Structure 1
Amino acid sequence: MSDHAVPIPARRAIVLPSLTFLGLAALALSISVAVSVGAVAVPLGTVWGVVADRLLPGLVEAGWTTGQAAIVWDIRLPRALLAAMVGAGLSLVGASLQSVTRNPLADPHLLGISAGGAFGAILALLHTGLFIGLLTVPLLAFGGAMTTALLVLGISSVTRSTSADRLVLAGVAVSFIVMSCANLLIFLGDPRATHTVVFWMLGGLGLAQWDQLAYPALVLAGCGAWLMSHVRRLNAMTMGDETAATLGIPVARFRLTVFFVGALLTGCMVAFSGIIGFVGLMIPHIVRILVGGDHARVLPFSALIGAIFLVWADIAARTVMAPDDLPIGIVTGLVGGAFFVWLLRRRG
């Protein structure tokens, strides 16, 4: 039988597992490289040895220094894992928002969620101080993101703006207001501390610590599982509100629910990474080119490729100006901006 005689579903059944395996292998290799490179290079063999020794003590004979073990396990591995989770989370939100709004340019920051996170983080860094320790910044950032999300939902309900276009407009309006308030906090804060705020607003993964990774991991797993359980509805929403309604989907309520789940996921990621733009806009479009438009494939592959992309963006951020860290938002902004122009040209 020739290749042309193989049915399309059969080809897809062969290709998708292969893509999944290659994606997982690429993610594992990317994380290994991220842990290996930096101001102090650590060989890949040492990286794997340290990780194996921490997971299964005594399995590997130690051939590394205490300093190398600390760099691998305490500093770089948590950072690489956080980068993977943030990339996966933002990509999931972008894919789901593009579905329910039918807006190809929708991303997690379009609806004002990141602005709320920025407000909370600036409040902690410049005004309240770390009154509950290192968790103060991510907790206040998460609180600001969720407050903004609830504000957008409230405005949408009061004004009955539950359609896709009006929901986006409400988010954009709230985003401008909240960012103005955040800029006012910067203006009123201590000028000597503003450099920490600027770095956080441009994105950074310096808060990565083992005892804090559980929070984004749990939120990512919970929200990702909920989105995967509603792939049929997401597919229907891409065909328009009227078509989705004829299939028995409560369109307005489902759109608001997806928005709230996206806000929860984005708020948690922004709380630990700062504002990282363009990931949620760019990755879902790349995934649809590779695997088609079915959200049963778009969502998991968006998470996988988003994780790989942000790990490599962090590698670039740490090595371009080593030993100084470049804010990761600059890297994603450069790549995402070029992709944005390409997307507009392609749509045109």
Structure 2
Amino acid sequence: MPATGKSNKKILLFLALFLMVICLISLSCGQIEIPMKSTLSAVFYHLNILWGENGSFTMEQDAVIWFIRMPRVLTGVLVGAGLGISGAVMQGIFNNPLADPGITGVSAGAATGAVIAIALGIAAENVFMLPLFALFGSLLAVFFTVFLAMRGKRIPAVTLLLAGVVTSMLLGAVTSGILTMMNEQKAQSYLFWIIGGLDYRRWEHVYIAAGPILSGIAVMIAAARHLNVLALGDTEARSVGMPVMTFRIGLMFTAAAVTAAAVCVSGNIGFVGLIIPHIMRMLLGPDYVLLLPASALAGAAFLVSCDLLGRIIMPPVEIRVGIMTALLGAPYFLYLLRKMQKISYDS
């Protein structure tokens, strides 16, 4: 049973507190263990908060926390929040709990953009080039998918899904073709990116992702009440004066842009936008005013937790976060698929 009233606020508060705690633990844990007191002091020192004392942490600890782990954690928060809320919006737009942010070809477009940057050699010259090419490829894929799916002034949901599949297959073929012409070193660079990970993230990656992801999250949360109206059906939405087509396309592009910004700095990370909104919907119900911020908080906490587990579960080897989300998300997806099949069969 979904929670109601004060329980919903408690769940949101718990998610926010859990996200803060898991971020602090992630800053402290790793191959170099740093005491929590030193971690807090270093963070507060850089934020110019009086509690932070320069003498309670060493220069080495400060370098690890602020220049290695902090960009990694913040990137994880941004990517997880962006994928989580984008998944919730996509599921609301298509009224399908199995809808995923990548259904518009975003991930395939990012992969093609990334492989082009690596093949041209510019990814090694400038840290901004690979994510920017991936972002550009993602957005082009979305435009191409919508162009294929457009029928007059309508975009049927089934047609959009099929167009997304076609776009992904086409871009996958392009990516594979480029890979066959790359040398082994460049191919390994692409493989390292496509698996999805937060390692070796720098402050530049945070700067690239922060603007589009935070702006997109703000727009989607502002449109939460309209999503509630849309969930009642197109006829009811039109009866209250909502431009259904314009609203649906606008939100879809916003979610796709946020997903593109997330994928471009982290690589292909699956299941976050699929399972997190579904779990939040079971806990909080279908009210998007609560569901969207909850999906953002839970997505961020889930991704940072997966990254932390990947770092500490088999030291000194790190399991990349894209692998961890697949290991944890795939069983739940199979359970969800089986449950929906059973409901369909019983009905």
Q: Partner of 2:345 in structure 1? A: none
Find the residue that maps to 1:333 and give its secondary structure.
helix
Say whether 1:164 aligns with 2:182: no
The code of the aligned residue for 2:31 comes to A
Task: Name the CA shift for 1:54/1:282 in 2 (closer, same or farther; >3 Å).
Answer: same
In structure 2, how many angstroms separate the alpha carbons of the residues matched to 1:130 and 1:305?
A: 32
Give the TM-score normalised by the residue count of structure 1: 0.92
Stretch deviating more after TM superposition (315-324 or 298-307): 315-324
Find the residue that maps to 1:133 and give its secondary structure.
coil
In structure 2, how many angstroms separate the alpha carbons of the residues matched to 1:35 and 1:221?
A: 22
Q: Percent identity?
A: 33
User: 1:220-262: CA deviations, max 9, x gaps?
Assistant: 2211111122122212222333333333222222222111111
Find the residue that maps to 2:216 and give its secondary structure.
helix
Q: Partner of 2:27 in structure 1? A: 35
Contact 2:149 2:155 in 1 (8 A): yes
Cα displacement (A) at 1:188: 1.1
Q: Partner of 1:73 in structure 2? A: 66
In structure 1, how many angstroms separate the alpha carbons of the residues matched to 2:18 and 2:217?
A: 21
Contact 2:91 2:100 in 1 (8 A): yes
Find the residue that maps to 2:104 and give its secondary structure.
coil
Cα displacement (A) at 1:160: 6.2
Contact 2:81 2:299 in 1 (8 A): yes
Contact 2:42 2:54 in 1 (8 A): no
Task: Name the CA shift for 1:268/1:296 in 2 (closer, same or farther; >3 Å).
Answer: same
User: 2:86 is matched with which residue: 72, 86, 93?
Assistant: 93
In structure 2, how many angstroms separate the alpha carbons of the residues matched to 1:173 and 1:252?
A: 22
Contact 2:118 2:124 in 1 (8 A): no
* Runs of 5+ unmatched residues, structure 2: 343-347
In structure 1, how many angstroms separate the alpha carbons of the residues matched to 2:93 and 2:226?
A: 9
Say whether 1:121 aligns with 2:114: yes
RMSD across aligned C-alpha pairs, in angstroms?
2.1
In structure 2, how many angstroms separate the alpha carbons of the residues matched to 1:131 and 1:200?
A: 13
Q: Partner of 1:102 in structure 2? A: 95
User: 1:341 is matched with which residue: 323, 326, 334?
Assistant: 334
User: 1:313 is matched with which residue: 296, 299, 306?
Assistant: 306
Give the TM-score normalised by the residue count of structure 2: 0.92
Find the residue that maps to 2:268 and give its secondary structure.
coil
Contact 1:101 1:165 in 2 (8 A): no
In structure 1, how many angstroms separate the alpha carbons of the residues matched to 2:110 and 2:262?
A: 9
Q: What number of residue pairs does the alignment pair up?
A: 340
In structure 1, how many angstroms separate the alpha carbons of the residues matched to 2:168 and 2:35?
A: 44
Contact 2:68 2:200 in 1 (8 A): no
Cα displacement (A) at 1:325: 2.7
Say whether 1:242 aligns with 2:235: yes
Alignment of 1:1-348 (within 5 A): 12-56=4-48, 59-130=52-123, 133-157=126-150, 162-347=155-340, 348=342
* Runs of 5+ unmatched residues, structure 1: 1-10
